[in-house]
Amino acid sequence: MLRLNWPRNLTKVALLGLLAIPLIGFAQSYTGPGGVIDMDGERFPPEDPHEKAEWTFARYHYDMDGFQYGRFRFQRWAADYPKSDRQFVIGVNRLTRVNARSKEHVIDGKSDEIYDYPWLYVEDAGAWNMEPEQAKRLREFLLRGGFFMVDDSHGDREWETLEAGLKMVFPDRPIIDLPNQEEIFHIVYDLDDRTQIDGTRYIWGRMRYTPDSATAQWRGIRDDKGRLMVAICHNSDIGDAWEWADSPQYPEHEASLAYRIGMNYIIYGMTH
């Protein structure tokens, strides 16, 4: 049933130069006729299932106890989707030699399709409702070599929900704080200068950081050999930075840092 058989190494990344692209609120998307995705009036064509590439941005779809809100019954797994995913992929293709698929793919947490993609991204998992079936698949995925990037959780309340889900996946594995010398922070770019990546709601919205959300936390879970399987960006919103990297209103240094973090996580995940 399990189909994982991924190459363990990719072509060495060749950097073409530092990202220098500058870039508002809460976006909602829905899929209309022909699979076209409408995101606040901006239309995105559907993915091409026949497009061949060595790496795909795979976004993890989780359940939320049926809670939906907004005009298009928005769920938080789809925060910043699909613009964030696609703009990040543009950067990957521009700044590395990774042959990245031009459009993202959404993976349902209950589907065996999870075993076909070695790299997964989840956003806003402080709202997920992890079920045993999903936890079992995610655990199998990770133990077989998969990599899981966790982004956009804020504060103690969301951390508790996120942590509870991860504890269902790995009840006996600790979630650790990652030191600056961690390989994932140096595999392509040196990321000693990591700072909090602000979501737009904190930049030009009315939200303010609370004491439990004001400091970025970089955490993870290892396998038995020390490989980082799960990399967590808590109290940051890297997806928002990808989404708004084309806006002059979004801070350029945060957008650039978000791209560098993402590319490090790709190369680490695909070579370990």
Residue 199 tokens read as 């979501």
Asked if residue 28 has pLDDT above 90, the reply is no
Digit-coded pLDDT (tens) for 170-205: 999 999 999 999 999 999 999 999 999 999 999 988
Radius of gyration for the alpha carbons in the chain, expressed in angstroms and rounded:
17
Which domains are assigned to the chain?
Answer: 40-271 (3.40.50.12140)
Higher pLDDT, 44 or 90: 90
User: What residue spans of 29-173 are helical by DSSP H?
Assistant: 83-95, 132-143, 155-169
Query: Quick one: tokens of 244?
Result: 């708004």
Length of the chain: 272
150 is written with which tokens? 């966790």
pLDDT band at residue 46 under the 50/70/90 scheme: low
From CA 162, how far away is CA 156, in angstroms rounded? 10
3-state secondary structure of 155: helix
Average pLDDT, the chain: 85
Residue 29 backbone dihedrals phi, psi, to 5 degrees: -135, 155
Contact between residue 23 and residue 249 where contact means Cβ atoms under 8 Å apart: yes
**Which one-letter DSSP state was computed for residue 76?**
G
Question: What is the pTM for the complete model shown?
Answer: 0.84
Residue 105, strand partner residues: 58
Among candidate residues 267, 258, 253, the one with its CA nearest the CA of residue 20: 253
Q: Tell me the two tokens of residue 34.
A: 């022909």
CA-based torsion, 128, 164, 154, 219: positive or negative: negative
Per-residue confidence (pLDDT) for residue 272, from 0 to 100: 95
More confident residue, 207 or 42: 207
Tens-place pLDDT, residues 217-257: 999 999 999 999 999 999 999 999 999 999 999 999 999 99
Name the residue among 23, 22, 46 with its Cα closest to residue 102.
46
Residue 7: per-residue pLDDT: 41
Q: Are 122 and 148 in contact (CB under 8 A)?
A: yes
CA dist., res. 229 & res. 222, Å (int): 5
* Long-range interactions of 137-140: CB distance < 8 A, separation 24+: 137/109, 137/110, 137/111, 137/112, 138/109, 138/114, 138/169, 139/169, 139/170, 140/2, 140/115
